[in-house]
Amino acid sequence: MEELKKWRRDLHQIPELGLQEYQTAAYIRHELEIMGYQWEAIVETGTVVYIDCHQKETIAFRSDIDGLAIHEQNQIDFISKYPGYMHACGHDGHMSALLGLAKRIQESHFNFSYNILLIFQPAEESPGAARQVVASGLFEKYHVKAIFGMHLMPFIEEGKIACKKGPLMAMCGEIDVRIQGKGAHAGLPQEGIDSIVIASDAIHQYQSLLTRQVSPFAPVVLNIGSIHGGTARNSVASETVMHGTLRCYDEQLFKDITAKMDAIHFGLEKNYGCQIEWSCPPLYPPVINDEHLYHNFCSLVKKEDFISLKEPFMLAEDFSFYQKEIPGIFFFLGTKCQDYQSGLHTETFNFHEEVLEKAVDLYYTIACHMKGV
Beta partners for 179?
Answer: 240, 276
127 near 274, Cβ under 8 Å?
no
Residue type (1 letter), 199 = A
d(CA 46, CA 28): 10
Instruction: State the DSSP string of 208-267.
Output: HHHHHSS-TTS-EEEEEEEEEE-S-TTEE-SEEEEEEEEEES-HHHHHHHHHHHHHHHHH
d(CA 166, CA 293): 11
d(CA 306, CA 128): 29
336 near 155, Cβ under 8 Å?
yes
193 near 274, Cβ under 8 Å?
yes
- Known catalytic residue at 256: no
d(CA 86, CA 16): 8
Beta partners for 336?
Answer: 157
d(CA 300, CA 329): 13
Cis, bond preceding 83 (omega within 30 deg of 0): no
101 near 118, Cβ under 8 Å?
yes
Which member of 31, 125, 158, 318 is catalytic? 125
Which member of 64, 290, 318, 353 is catalytic? 64
- Known catalytic residue at 305: no
| Residues acting as catalytic residues | 64, 125
